[in-house]
Amino acid sequence: MTYSLPPLGRRSSSSPKKPQFSWWKSIRRFSHLPFDLGIDLGTSNTLIYSPYQGILLQESSTIAINTSTQSPIAVGAVAGQLLGRTSPNIRVCRPVRNGVVADLDLTQLMLQYFIRKAQWGTRLLRPRLLVGCSCGATEVERSALIEAAFEAGAREVALIDEPVAAALGAGLPAEKPHGNLIVDIGGGTTEMAVVCASEAVFSHAIAVAGNRFDRNICDYFRQIHQLHLGELTAENLKIRYGSMASNDDRDHTLVEIVGVNAGSGLPQRISIAYGELREALSISMDKITDALSHFLETIPTELMTDIAERGMMLTGGGALLPGLDTLIRDRASLPVHVAKTPLKSVALGMGKIFQDRHPQQEIRWAS
């Protein structure tokens, strides 16, 4: 199926100037365009990093399609805000699910839009792309990701295991022959891996992460309070009030929730105790900690000794939940650290790879 991109947004100016063409300014502009880009293509968010300019783009991995004309009407943050707010002929979807490409056509379209936006709208330069990939992805899934990148306009493409990039971005000595445990709680998957000598030597991923947290909140309010919540409402509740740490003073604080009554279908406001959200989130958190415990049992003794000394590093959006590090520390009996910028760890790690802080022979470029 063939799609066409929606137009890129233009910057508004209160005092428009008369356009003047200048070869020198054009050459300088193109000389500063990013030729190398690192892309963290996540289930919930996509980040694009340039080794010379830093984070160029951070958008929702969402696209809105008009099912009547089969044409996209919005991509990124604008499409993300349309979740649950569209007419029946508009479909809002995430083309990347659980860390892999679910819809090839929409993924390449979304990537093309993001790359053009990061390159200021130009189509003249085809960048070299370093794309993050789940350790558990099959060869078919990896091939689909490479194909989507080429179709989006890449000159060369290489895949990097996301735990390796996340470890580098979080400041771990991933290139040294020591075991480093990284736990990345993203939007679609939670990936845990032991990184040693710039390689993920052991890894495991489960489809329980940020999006599942949102569904847990929706299910909890529907079952306990007979209240329907939208996906965006649940996500906002998680961000504003979600916590895995008990606090006697704060847990009894009332929070007002607005939703739709399951029986009457009318709007309804209810007040709940702050601590109830932790009860909703604990369903998925128990699955993550159980999976982590089983994963730790498979790690060889020498690597486990390294991990016991250094602890584990938490990255991804889920690492921002207050008290999560304490919960995992108590259940895993290991020191737990949270990356300074959990959402950007993978992208920042790609920047270090481009800056020759990673063995380049490990990166295999396809063209």
CB 259 within 8 A of CB 221: yes
Work out the pLDDT band at 95, boundaries 50, 70, 90.
very high
Tokens standing for residue 116:
């053009």
Burial bucket for residue 86 (CB in 10 Å: 0-12, 13-18, 19+) = middle
Residue 32 has pLDDT above 60, yes or no: no
Average pLDDT over residues 77-105: 89
CB 130 within 8 A of CB 47: no
Say what the pLDDT of residue 5 is. 66
Distance between CA 55 and CA 52 in Å, rounded?
Answer: 9
For the domain covering 34-163+348-362, report its CATH number. Answer: 3.30.420.40
Distance between CA 313 and CA 295 in Å, rounded?
Answer: 15
CA distances from 157 to 29, 61, 129, 143, 146 (A): 24, 20, 5, 11, 6
Residues 120-138 as b/e (b if ≥16 CB within 10 A, e otherwise) read eeeeeeebbbbbbbbbbbe
CB neighbourhood size of 292 (10 A): 21
Indicate the SS3 state at residue 273.
strand
Relative to beta strand 100-101, strand 96-97 is: antiparallel
Q: How is 275-337 classified by DSSP, letter by letter?
A: THHHHHHHHHHHHHHHHHHHHHHTS-HHHHHHHHHH-EEEESGGGGSTTHHHHHHHHHTS-EE
Relative to beta strand 36-41, strand 128-133 is: parallel
Segment 306-340, tens digit of pLDDT? 999 999 999 999 999 999 999 999 999 999 999 99
Tokens standing for residue 196:
């040693």
Average pLDDT over residues 109-137: 85
Q: Amino acid identity, residue 310?
A: R
Segment 237-253, tens digit of pLDDT? 999 998 898 877 777 88
Query: 136 versus 184: which is more confidently predicted?
Result: 184
Distance between CA 192 and CA 204 in Å, rounded?
Answer: 5
CA dihedral 344, 349, 193, 296 (to 10 degrees): -80
DSSP H helices in 6-138 = 23-31, 77-80, 104-118
Residue 162 has pLDDT above 60, yes or no: yes
**Range scoring the smallest mean pLDDT among 13-17, 53-57, 113-117, 226-230:** 13-17
Say what the pLDDT of residue 4 is. 61
Domains in the chain: boundaries: 34-163+348-362, 165-208+281-343, 210-280
Segment 130-144, tens digit of pLDDT? 999 998 889 999 999
Distance between CA 162 and CA 184 in Å, rounded?
Answer: 9
104-107 contact pairs (CB < 8 A, 24+): 104/144, 104/147, 104/148, 105/1, 105/3, 106/3, 106/63, 106/65, 106/72, 107/41, 107/148
CATH fold for the domain made of 210-280: Actin; Chain A, domain 4 (3.90.640)
CB 170 within 8 A of CB 195: no
CATH fold for the domain made of 165-208+281-343: Nucleotidyltransferase; domain 5 (3.30.420)
Using a pLDDT cut of 90, give the percent of the chain over it: 63
Rounded to two decimals, what is the model's pTM? 0.86
Same CATH topology for 34-163+348-362 and 165-208+281-343: the answer is: yes
Q: How is 195-213 classified by DSSP, letter by letter?
A: EETTEEEEEEEES-SHHHH
Indicate the SS3 state at residue 157.
strand
Where residue 262 falls (left for φ over 0; alpha for ψ -120 to 50; beta otherwise) is alpha
